[in-house]
Amino acid sequence: MKQVLLKQGQALIEDIPAPMDEEGYSLIYVSHSCISTGTELSGLKENGIPLWKKALKHPEKVKKAFAMLATKGFSKTKSILQGQLSSGVPSGYSAAGTVLGTTQRVACAGAQCAHHAEIIQVPDNLMVPIPENVGFAEASTVALGAIALQGIRRAQPTLGETFAVIGLGFLGQVTGQLLQANGCRVFGIDLDLKRVELAETFGLLSSFPSHLEVDGVIITAGTASSEVISQAFQLCRKKGRVVLVGDVGLHLKRTDFYKKELDFLISCSYGPGRYDDRYEEQGFDYPMGYVRWTETRNMEEYLHLLAQKKVDVSPFVQSIFPVDQAADAYAFLKDKEKKPLLALLSYPPPISVNRVVSNPRASPCSKEQLQVGLIGAGGFAKEMHLPNLQSLKEYRLKAVVSRSGDNAKATMRQFEASYATTNPQEMLQDAEIDLVIIATRHHLHMNQVLEALQAGKHVLVEKPLCLNKQELEKILDFYAKNPDGPILLTGFNRRFSTYAKKIHQVAQKRVNPMVINYRMNAGFLPLQHWVHGEEGGGRNIGEACHIYDLFTFLTGSKVQTIDAHSIQSATHDNFIATMSFQDGSIATLTYTSLGPKDYPKEQMEIFMDGQVLVMNDYQSLNVPKFASKQAEKGQKEELVALAKAIREGGPWPIPLWQQAQAMDIAFRVEEWL
């Protein structure tokens, strides 16, 4: 399918895989999408800024890049930055079309879904039905209309009040009409006389009496200047209110609003629910009795007002460009003489849904190489697994599967895969694929592991293997029925690090049990982070399982008893877990999010046979003495061990019982927490 991507300051059309249908989402054949002069032209301009200028503008990102260089090394940092620069940015946040397989007409909003593309995947809470007498072109402005409506909600106008609207772009024009529909007298202010004249045709007043003080001002302008704010305060009566919808400078002068006791309010995009993943992505709604106007209800009401002809956008939706001419549409919006308020893109009638895009520049695979399919092209896969694969002659990346078609294609190009797809089944049915790497969010792991194993593929799945005992039983049941099945390797990479191997060599010669103390200074993650939710399973199951596997590797023994204690909090990421093993060893993990970032993340002390082994952040070890410039946590060595096992047979890199034990320890610790 065709999609608009912003690359190096240009709007380009690319053929990318169409999205998959998912529960809680709908696929929409787009009829029209809306390009606004504000947000999208700003995005296009920002996208075209040279890297060195961006560095000057965002010094915090430069600092982050240097930190990445220190921890990941030059080659991986270069790969990450090149990928980010070459991938392109999806554009668009307001569209209208038809639900795939139905005749249902809907309008959609959201920068994460309502892109300029032929087919889009939209969460249920970000789409609303279009009334019969509203066309696709008008409905495609739904996001902008909801933004204007939310600004009205914040202002709380009453019948007969007087308002001023500063900035008569599309948002300002619609805001003026909405205020009039609310029974207000409205003055429109803009530096562009053509926009003022256009507003007058909709009943807005332009002749502003010098003595008049308004009840409220809504700012829909976009400028770096703070004078707009100052002007708005000066226009208000005593105890009036100013609502900021646009993007302006915010250097406030106390004298402008102190004496009048003015209220200054910020309007957040489409309304309540915006930027809340639980609402937008997971489908949770706010009860109407407590939140009357959510972003979805604002979208519905805007379309309702269009249907009633209380808001008229017909003069603004005349400039329509076929999607193939998206570059012309953006150029049209830049026209300083015409100064258009917005432009629309139109899309051809749907013919078919293509979820695979090939890479004509991909090099052929040699017979000696293992062909790899990746499911989940997120940050970790692109920062760690794919650069490692490229550096190893044993492997060749053949397929990239990602939920996002543009990300799948960009990753395919960057790492020279043969094809990209949004459909995992396309890759699992590829007879040439030997190994599937799964790097999706944690709640998807178990099903994807089983599907890949059942397709006869070897599997490397990022930790955790699964999220509960029931899921673990399903995987163990597969191997009970298929004892000679493909290799399964959970990404417990720490045991493959040079440090863990050296410690293991020393531990093999011990006479007595060990005492292991491991400290994980994990760092703070906000409660809203996906790792804490149903998708992640929490930090004990999702992250600490790494260390439970390391304990299993070093002792080589089965666990006997487990005890855990935690600081009571909503996240359960400050705890101590202690376990004993059949060989008599005792291991303790102290896992905390309370420590500072500049303190080492991971430290381990092992007491045995009159000696102490101290490992510091996978960068130094005292016995035998060893050090490295970057942390070496075994991700590359893990892939080497897996390739050897696939080619030569013999023992798995991690025995199944040890993988299962690491997860079982996590589940038992979770019961304590």
Return the pLDDT at 56.
56
Output the DSSP codes for 8-45. TTEEEEEE-PPPPP-TTEEEEEEEEEEEETTHHHHHHH
Helix (H, G, I), strand (E, B) or coil at 457: coil
Residue identified by tokens 């808001």 is: 311
Q: Which domains does the chain have, with CATH numbers?
A: 2-141+313-346 (3.90.180.10), 150-273 (3.40.50.720), 362-490 (3.40.50.720), 494-672 (3.30.360.10)
Return the pLDDT at 367.
83
Return the pLDDT at 338.
79
Return the pLDDT at 337.
81
* Neighbour-count burial for 591-606, b at 16+ CB within 10 Å, e otherwise: bbbebeeeeebbbbbb
Predicted confidence band at 36 (pLDDT cuts at 50, 70, 90)? confident
Task: Give the distance, in angstroms, between the CA of residue 100 and the centroid of all CA atoms in the same chain.
Answer: 24
Name every residue whose Cβ is closer than 8 Å to that of residue 44 and which is 6 or more positions away in sequence.
6, 9, 10, 11, 91, 330
Whether residue 418 has pLDDT greater than 70:
yes
In this structure, what token pair is assigned to residue 294?
A: 């959510």
Radius of gyration of the chain, Cα coordinates, nearest whole angstrom: 29
**Tens digit of each residue's pLDDT (9 = 90 or more) over 500-537:** 999 999 999 999 999 999 999 999 999 889 999 889 99
More reliable by pLDDT, 177 or 534: 177
Predicted confidence band at 65 (pLDDT cuts at 50, 70, 90)? low
Q: Provide, for the chain, the percentages of residues in helix, strand and coil under a 3-state DSSP scheme, each rounded to the nearest 5.
A: 35, 25, 40
The H or E element containing residue 643 is helix 635-648
Alpha carbons 294 and 301: distance in angstroms, whole number: 10
Length of the chain, in residues: 673
Helix (H, G, I), strand (E, B) or coil at 638: helix
In this structure, what token pair is assigned to residue 39?
A: 């947000």
**Tens digit of each residue's pLDDT (9 = 90 or more) over 621-667:** 998 899 998 899 999 999 999 999 999 999 999 999 999 999 999 99
Return the pLDDT at 203.
94
Asked if the bond preceding 59 is cis, omega within 30° of 0, the reply is no
Share of the chain above pLDDT 90, in %: 81
In this structure, what token pair is assigned to residue 547?
A: 């260390």
Whether residue 470 has pLDDT greater than 80:
yes
What is the pTM (predicted TM-score) of this model? 0.89
For 160-225, give the secondary structure using H, E and C.
CCEEEEECCCHHHHHHHHHHHHCCCEEEEECCCHHHHHHHHCCCCECCCCCCCCEEEEEECCEECC
Lowest mean pLDDT of 365-369, 459-463, 625-629, 655-659, name the range. Answer: 365-369
Whether residue 37 has pLDDT greater than 90:
no
In this structure, what token pair is assigned to residue 411?
A: 């990753």
In this structure, what token pair is assigned to residue 320?
A: 């329509």
Q: Which of 366, 425, 424 has its CA nearest to residue 396?
A: 366
Strands 611-616 and 620-621, by their bridges, are antiparallel
Lowest mean pLDDT of 35-49, 535-549, 601-615, name the range. Answer: 35-49
Phi, psi at residue 599, to the nearest 5°? -90, 145
Predicted confidence band at 570 (pLDDT cuts at 50, 70, 90)? confident
Residue identified by tokens 């909003």 is: 109
Please classify residue 656 by burial: count the beta carbons closer than 10 Å to its beta carbon, then call 0-12 exposed, 13-18 middle and 19+ buried: middle
Q: Which of 523, 578, 527, 591 has its CA nearest to residue 551?
A: 578
* For range 245-265, the mean pLDDT: 92
Alpha carbons 128 and 298: distance in angstroms, whole number: 10
Return the pLDDT at 68.
62
Whether residue 66 has pLDDT greater than 70:
no
Q: Please, are residues 654 and 495 in contact by the beta-carbon 8 Å criterion?
A: yes
Report which DSSP code applies to 376: -
Angle between helices 545-555 and 656-672 (to 10 degrees): 130
Whether residue 76 has pLDDT greater than 80:
no
Alpha carbons 143 and 269: distance in angstroms, whole number: 9
Return the pLDDT at 480.
97
Instruction: Indicate the average pLDDT of the chain.
Output: 92
